[in-house]
């Protein structure tokens, strides 16, 4: 049971870090509104350094947690979907970055609002497909498997809201659903850790 507690603790930390990202972004925008030059530079540093760092650390810890729990529960499908989530998210991010560069090259010849609107719409659709639908489908499968293996309703709900969030991400409301899914995952990891920890000795 100690291994369950360790991996659940990693997942718990990963969920907290993931949920901290919008808090940091909100703080950055608040700092920008305050309009101090020094604060503005610090805000940019926070946005372009702190947020990606939180995201990468959360991703690494989430993978470690899911892979470890897959080993504990002897569910290879959980481990495979966790790996596919990480690979597809990183690969999708790299592909999206490359696409931005390739689409931006001919943008100098792009004239008119319609052309720029089509450019932005293409980027948003690509981001939706590459960085939401594909990777979060694998994460939803991983959560569903963990919910089945650990008999956890919280992870089943996390799987459901992750997938719905991915599908609706193009309409922005999906981001809120993914945050809700991560809250359910946090509850699931906390429950696993609490159940696995030995009872404290009597006084």
**Can you give the pLDDT at residue 201?**
46
CA 145 – CA 151 distance, rounded (Å):
9
Contact, 70 vs 82, CB < 8 A? yes
CA 58 – CA 3 distance, rounded (Å):
19
CA 136 – CA 82 distance, rounded (Å):
10
pTM: 0.83
**Can you give the pLDDT at residue 16?**
96
CA 54 – CA 16 distance, rounded (Å):
10
**Can you give the pLDDT at residue 23?**
84
**Can you give the pLDDT at residue 65?**
97
Per-residue pLDDT of the chain (203 residues; tens, 9 = 90+): 568 999 999 999 999 999 998 887 777 777 666 655 566 666 666 666 777 888 899 999 999 999 999 999 999 999 999 999 999 988 888 877 777 776 666 555 566 566 667 767 777 777 777 778 889 999 999 999 999 999 999 999 999 999 999 888 877 788 899 999 999 999 999 999 998 876 554 45
**Can you give the pLDDT at residue 189?**
97
C-alpha distance from residue 101 to each of 13, 20, 104, 123, 129 (Å): 34, 29, 5, 11, 17
């Amino acid at each position: 049971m100690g291994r369950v507690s360790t991996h659940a603790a990693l997942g718990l930390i990963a969920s907290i870090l993931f949920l901290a990202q919008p808090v940091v972004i909100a703080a950055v925008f608040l700092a920008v509104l305050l309009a101090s030059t020094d604060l503005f530079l610090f805000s940019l540093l926070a946005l372009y350094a702190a947020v990606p760092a939180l995201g990468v650390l959360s991703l690494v810890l989430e993978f470690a947690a899911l892979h470890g729990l897959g080993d504990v529960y002897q569910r290879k499908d959980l481990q495979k979907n966790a790996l596919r989530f990480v690979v597809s998210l990183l690969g999708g991010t790299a592909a999206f970055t490359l696409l931005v560069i390739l689409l931006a090259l001919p943008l100098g010849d792009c004239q008119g609002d319609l052309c720029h609107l089509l450019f932005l719409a293409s980027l948003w659709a690509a981001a939706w497909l590459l960085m939401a639908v594909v990777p979060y489908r694998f994460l939803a499968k991983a959560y569903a498997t963990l919910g089945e293996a650990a008999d956890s309703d919280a992870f089943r709900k996390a799987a459901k809201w992750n997938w719905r969030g991915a599908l609706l991400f193009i309409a922005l409301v999906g981001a809120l659903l993914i945050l809700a899914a991560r809250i359910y995952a946090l509850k699931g990891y906390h429950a696993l850790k609490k159940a696995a920890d030995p009872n404290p000795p009597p006084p």
